Amino acid sequence: MNGCAPVGSNFRMAMSCPSAPPITRRGFLKGLAGCTGGLAVAGFGYMRWLEPSWLASPRHTLTLPAWRAATPLRIAHLSDLHASPVVPYRQIERAIIDTLAASPDLICLTGDFVTREPDEPDHYARLLRRLSQAAPTFAVLGNHDGGAWSRNYGGQPDTRAVRRVLDLAEIQCLHNRSVTIELHGQPLHLVGVGDWWAGQLDARLAFGGGAGRQDELPTVVLSHNPDTKEALSPYPWDLLLSGHTHGGQLSLPLLGTPFAPVHDHRYVHGLKPWRDRWIHVTSGVGNLHGLRLGCRPEVSLIDITPQYDET
Ligand SMILES: [Fe+2]
């Protein structure tokens, strides 16, 4: 011991070191308030100016028995671009650059291209067109992209504006319809559904009227809201791609994701099994209100690999 010890019962944390001034209770509390205020400002700054634009690129690998091609299929999954005053086009452009750098075979966009309306739609379309020029690109719409829900939120009363951007970008909008494409010599079935909150989901139409699997093609469904898994369960699919949750947008220690706008909080973020299928929910590129905490924006990559027989 060098003789520096707390003194007195009146909370004076004065040290007996002759060179150090005594720390009074008032001084201690002022310091504590200053530290707390500083931490609060730093925390808010992180939520507002750092994390919302701090793009991640998580990679997942998924084995699907129906994928028989020897070459894996790389899907880039982006969602919730939310072009708006708090999500500038330069942030969306960075996500597009990251996507192209990963050389995906297929690009899937699962809705909420805007928060209210497309500002400079031709510019937005030119940005998105860089995706469709690099790989087959398909999209579905989200609740913010127009319709009854969006109108009540102060957005577009219908989906025409966003659809026009997608048309100009040469991105196929799978609005309650499906297509079969071929990649690496392997046919792949893609199904897209309208948004659930917008009252536009018609799974029967999207799957071509039948609930029975027509063939053994690997099937990927694009649906903005992961809560649609139950409505889609009678139909044949292997992987559901969704967004909508923004990963919770604010993911809090102990509390989890209380603000995620879904009923089933098991499917807020990431690749997870559901019954005998898979669901991938991306935290998206943009955000609402300019805030994120504990769930960085992302461009997700999913590599689908064949299942080899163990003989
Ligand atoms: Fe969204």
Domain ranges of the chain: 54-305
- What angle, rounded to 10 degrees, do the helices at 89-101 and 121-134 form? 10
The proportion of the chain whose per-residue pLDDT surpasses 90, expressed as a percent, equals 78
Q: Tell me what pLDDT residue 24 has.
A: 82
Q: Tell me what pLDDT residue 7 has.
A: 40
**For the segment 71-103, what is each residue's pLDDT rounded down to a tens digit?**
999 999 999 999 999 999 999 999 999 999 999
* pLDDT at residue 10 greater than cutoff 70: no
**For the segment 169-206, what is each residue's pLDDT rounded down to a tens digit?**
999 999 999 999 999 999 999 999 999 999 999 999 99
Residue 19 pLDDT grade (very low, low, confident, very high; cuts 50, 70, 90): low
26 vs 31: CA distance, rounded Å: 9
Ligand 1 centroid to residue 11 C-alpha, Å: 52
**For the segment 220-250, what is each residue's pLDDT rounded down to a tens digit?**
999 999 999 999 999 999 999 999 999 998 9
Ligand 1 centroid to residue 237 C-alpha, Å: 24
Minimal CA–CA distance to 96: which of 84, 86, 83, 305? 83
Classify 54-305 by CATH class: alpha beta
Residue 307 pLDDT grade (very low, low, confident, very high; cuts 50, 70, 90): confident
For the chain, the average pLDDT equals 90
Ligand 1 centroid to residue 112 C-alpha, Å: 5
Show contacts of 91-95: CB within 8 Å, 24+ apart.
Answer: 91/53, 91/55, 91/285, 91/286, 91/297, 92/124, 92/127, 92/285, 92/286, 93/127, 94/53, 94/55, 95/55, 95/285, 95/297, 95/299
Q: Which residue do the tokens 């699962």 mark? A: 110
Ligand 1 centroid to residue 227 C-alpha, Å: 14
User: Which 3 state secondary structure label does DSSP give 178?
Assistant: strand
Q: Answer yes or no: are the C-beta atoms of 243 and 197 closer than 8 Å.
A: no
Ligand 1 centroid to residue 110 C-alpha, Å: 9
280 vs 303: CA distance, rounded Å: 12
146 vs 113: CA distance, rounded Å: 10
Ligand 1 centroid to residue 80 C-alpha, Å: 5
Ligand 1 centroid to residue 22 C-alpha, Å: 54
The proportion of the chain whose per-residue pLDDT surpasses 70, expressed as a percent, equals 89
**CA terminus-to-terminus distance, the chain:** 71
User: What is the CA 170 to chain-centroid distance, rounded?
Assistant: 22
Q: Give the pLDDT mean for 106-135.
A: 97
Ligand 1 centroid to residue 68 C-alpha, Å: 34
Q: Which residue do the tokens 């939120």 mark? A: 153
Reduced 3-state DSSP string for 138-175: EEECCHHHCCHHHHHCCCCCCCHHHHHHHHHCCCEECC
* pLDDT at residue 104 greater than cutoff 90: yes
DSSP 255: T
Residue 26 pLDDT grade (very low, low, confident, very high; cuts 50, 70, 90): confident
The reported pTM is 0.88
Residue 8 pLDDT grade (very low, low, confident, very high; cuts 50, 70, 90): very low
Q: Give the pLDDT mean for 260-287.
A: 97
Q: Give the pLDDT mean for 36-41.
A: 79
* pLDDT at residue 15 greater than cutoff 80: no
